[in-house]
Amino acid sequence: MSTTFGQSKKQRVLEKQRQEVLKEIREINSLLSSTAKEKTSLLTKIEDVNLKIKVRQNLIRITNKQANLLTREIKNNTQNIHNLETNLIARKKDYANVVVNSYKNKSKQSKLLFLLSSDNFLQAYKRFNYMKQYKEFQKKLGDSIAVKTEKLHTLNAALLLQKEDKNKLVIENSAAKKILVTEQKNQQSLITSLQKDSKKYKKIITKKQKESDALERKIDKIIRDAIAKSNKKRGKTTNKKTFALTAEAKKLAANFVANKGKLPWPLKTGRVSKRFGKQPHPVLPGIYTHSSGVEITTSKNSEVRVVFNGTVSGVQKIKGSTRVVLINHGNYITVYQNLKRVLVEVGEKVNTKDVIGVVSTNSMGKNVLKFCVYKDKQKLNPSSWAYKM
């Protein structure tokens, strides 16, 4: 693989990444604009602008890498063109000398006399071969000049395209930076407002976290009950921590594990707005939130999909919350929380990407699905299981 090809391949990889980030920005803008008219809290506004800034910074970073790579490629191509031009000049000079010599000896009579003036047959044979090789050399030299000339034209055309691409990237990056400055000013204004009444917002965050923890404990109980019920059915009442699996369930669990990192998202479109585990608040010091799964913000009435084949083991309406659906995949469970409508029943077998319900809209006008993955009672990070989450 040549260096030039390798660099072009790098550019294609970076361009693909850039297009993915641009798509992400469009999706975020679409999701946020749909809730723009809703009554939104200051905390939610900060979350939204933080998300936009993070993605915009990623776009600028990738575009910078593209522009820098193009700068190196342009430099290499410029040097290649210079070397090729130098080589082409030398080849043309050689060819000119060959043509002059050929012209001087172009007469058939001269060639014949050259052969007949040989001292012996061996010398004549050598002179004949020399004349034949000289003719082939002429042709090869002419062909070589034609090839190198064409290559020079191709390199020059590629160089012009690279320069155009770099100029476009520089312009786009400049525009992205201007938008980022505006977003950062908006962010700072929101942060200043938040810090003026930080005690109030700390209480709100703490209250929300307590509600989330309470709901998490209820889901944990549902899973413990599901394990107990499943094991009792199989006569394994002594095992209370893990599922007692049949041969079929073991195979299903193994297939689930084999697809780690490749599972589809539980929504067709959406962005992760809250990560798994303990996270520090981006503005308020000393405040942490914890999540047993990931929260995905999506559009209104988005359909929720199963991420892998399994059986519906639970459909619950928890007091003070929306509906929750649990799907068993052997001893693995996926949990789909914040559904306003459920389309499946307990015991029903489902397949990958089957629609099981519709996302609920919260009081802030946002449509958020909480997605969790468990192995028996152990909470796992869903981002490690879903494709590019």
d(CA 178, CA 155): 35
Residues 76 and 10 in one domain: yes
- The CATH number of the domain holding residue 44 is 1.10.287
Q: If phi over 0 gives left and psi between -120 and 50 gives alpha, with beta otherwise, what is residue 85?
A: alpha
Decide which of 196, 222, 245 is a domain's last residue.
196
pLDDT for the residue 323: 92
380 domain residue, yes or no = yes
Whether 363 is in a domain gets the answer yes
Contact 281/43 with Cβ under 8 angstroms?
A: no
Residues 141, 190 within the same domain: yes
> What's the rounded Cα separation, in Å, for the pair 95 and 137?
10
Residues 175, 255, single domain; the answer is no
Considering the domain architecture, whether residues 155 and 270 belong to the same structural domain is answered as no
3-state secondary structure of 327: strand
Can you give the residue range of the structural domain that contains 49? 3-196
Amino acid at 6: G
Q: Residue 272 belongs to what H/E stretch?
A: strand 271-274
In a domain, 31, yes or no: yes
**Confidence (pLDDT) at 161:** 81
Q: What's the whole-model pTM score?
A: 0.69
**Assigned domain for 343 exists:** yes
Sort 4 into a burial class: Cβ within 10 Å, 0-12 / 13-18 / 19+. middle
In this structure, are 173 and 262 located in the same domain? no
Residue type at 7 in one-letter notation: Q
Which residues contact residue 302 at a Cβ distance below 8 angstroms, ignoring those fewer than 6 apart? 267, 268, 269, 270, 358, 359, 367, 369
- With contact defined as beta carbons under 8 Å apart, do 178 and 131 qualify? no
CA end-to-end distance (rounded Å), the chain: 32
Confirm whether 56 is domain-assigned. yes
- State how far the Cα of 98 lies from the Cα of 226, in Å rounded to an integer: 91
pLDDT tens per residue, the chain (389 residues)? 344 444 578 888 989 989 988 888 888 877 776 555 555 577 778 888 888 898 899 999 999 998 888 888 888 878 877 777 777 677 667 656 655 565 555 544 465 665 567 678 777 767 767 766 766 766 676 667 667 777 777 777 777 888 888 888 899 999 999 999 998 998 888 888 877 888 888 888 888 888 888 888 888 888 888 888 888 887 776 667 888 888 999 999 999 999 999 999 999 988 888 899 988 877 777 788 889 999 998 888 899 999 999 999 989 887 666 899 999 999 999 999 999 999 999 999 999 999 999 999 877 778 899 999 999 999 999 999 999 88
Residues 180 and 68 in one domain: yes
Residue 270 within a domain: yes
Q: Is residue 203 part of a domain?
A: no
The CATH number for 371's domain is 2.70.70.10
User: How many domains is the chain partitioned into structurally?
Assistant: 2
128 with 270, same domain? no
Question: Is the domain of 143 the same as that of 240?
Answer: no
Residues 169 and 70 in one domain: yes
Q: Which residue's structure tokens are 């059986």?
A: 311
Choose the final residue of a domain: 130, 163, 196. Answer: 196
What distance in Å separates the CA atoms of residue 193 and residue 204, rounded to the nearest whole number? 15
Q: Among candidates 185, 174, 177, 186, which has minimal Cα distance to 56? A: 177
Q: Do 192 and 286 sit in the same domain of this protein? A: no
User: Which one of 130, 165, 196 terminates a domain?
Assistant: 196
